[in-house]
């Protein structure tokens, strides 16, 4: 009987944990004041955008979306972005691992006058999960994806999880 009780408790523990989706996570942590763009829409050839990576350098060097510009999170500098992107109306897509840090950076861009800013829904994890390529610091395709922390790694379902 004790064994059956343990199995039931384990089942409900796993069930409640696995019910947390990326959508749930983003609703919990984001204000959604920045509109999302899906990975499918960003990947379409007709979508022209400057792509900004709002993760730390080690994450970016491990894997990033092709042609993404690293702007970081902890050391983000709006002046650097303003020197790269001359038009405040240029379409900008910001991403991080899941879309939480990127919302914060996107808000800073909006506050600075950039008016066509989007947050990549599900970040680089969703990008990789949907089968799109990521690139390492040498510009080569890679299966490695920096997962930021063990807490967040559950949302990466494809690729090789890298921690450092």
Chain segment 68-113, per-residue pLDDT in tens: 999 999 999 999 999 999 899 999 999 999 999 999 999 999 999 9
The pTM assigned to this predicted structure is 0.86
pLDDT tier at 7, thresholds 50, 70, 90: very low
Q: Is the pLDDT score of 12 beyond 90?
A: no
Whether 133 is in a domain gets the answer yes
CATH of residue 133: 3.40.250.10
Token pair recorded at residue 120: 């990549």
Please give the backbone phi and psi of residue 43, each rounded to the nearest 5 degrees, phi first: -75, -15
Chain segment 131-154, per-residue pLDDT in tens: 999 999 999 999 999 998 888 899
Residue 57: per-residue pLDDT: 97
Q: By residue range, what is the domain housing residue 66?
A: 21-162
Q: Is the pLDDT score of 15 beyond 80?
A: no
Whether 49 is in a domain gets the answer yes
Distances (CA, A) of 80 to 67, 72, 77: 17, 11, 6
Residue 107: per-residue pLDDT: 98
Whether 68 is in a domain gets the answer yes
Residue 1: per-residue pLDDT: 54
Long-range contacts of 85-89 (CB under 8 A, 24+ apart): 85/50, 85/114, 88/113, 88/114, 88/115, 89/115, 89/116
Whether 128 is in a domain gets the answer yes
Q: Judging by DSSP bridges, how do beta strands 50-53 and 134-135 pair with one another?
A: unpaired
Residue 20: per-residue pLDDT: 84
Residue 92: per-residue pLDDT: 98
Whether 11 is in a domain gets the answer no
- Whether 95 sits among the annotated catalytic residues: the reply is no
Whether 2 is in a domain gets the answer no
What is the pLDDT averaged over residues 3-23? 53
Question: Across all residues in the chain, what is the average pLDDT?
Answer: 89
How many structural domains compose the chain? 1
Residue 13: per-residue pLDDT: 40
Q: Is the pLDDT score of 30 beyond 60?
A: yes
Beta bridge partners of 161: 145
Helix (H, G, I), strand (E, B) or coil at 89: coil
Whether 96 is in a domain gets the answer yes
What is the pLDDT averaged over residues 14-19? 46
Distance between CA atoms of residues 56 and 72, nearest Å = 5
Token pair recorded at residue 82: 């303003």
Please report, rounded to a whole number, the percentage of residues in the chain having pLDDT higher than 90: 79
Ramachandran area for residue 122 (φ above 0: left; ψ -120 to 50: alpha; else beta) = left
Going by the DSSP 8-state scheme, the letter that residue 68 receives in this structure is P
Whether 8 is in a domain gets the answer no
Which of 96, 105, 147, 162 is labelled catalytic? Answer: 96
């Amino acid at each position: 009987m004790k064994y059956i009780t343990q199995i039931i408790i384990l089942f409900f523990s796993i069930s409640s944990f696995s019910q947390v989706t990326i959508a749930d996570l983003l609703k919990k942590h984001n204000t959604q004041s920045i509109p999302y763009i899906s990975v499918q829409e960003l990947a379409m050839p007709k979508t022209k955008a400057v792509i900004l990576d709002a993760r730390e350098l080690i994450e970016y060097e491990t894997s990033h979306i092709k042609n993404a510009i690293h702007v970081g999170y902890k050391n983000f500098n709006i002046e650097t972005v303003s020197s790269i992107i001359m038009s405040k109306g240029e379409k900008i897509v910001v991403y991080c691992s899941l879309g939480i840090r990127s919302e914060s950076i996107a808000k800073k861009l909006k506050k600075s006058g950039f008016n066509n800013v989007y947050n990549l829904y599900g970040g680089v994890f969703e990008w990789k999960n949907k089968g799109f390529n990521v690139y390492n610091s040498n510009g080569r395709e890679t299966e490695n994806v920096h997962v930021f922390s063990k807490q967040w790694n559950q949302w990466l379902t494809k690729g090789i999880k890298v921690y450092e």
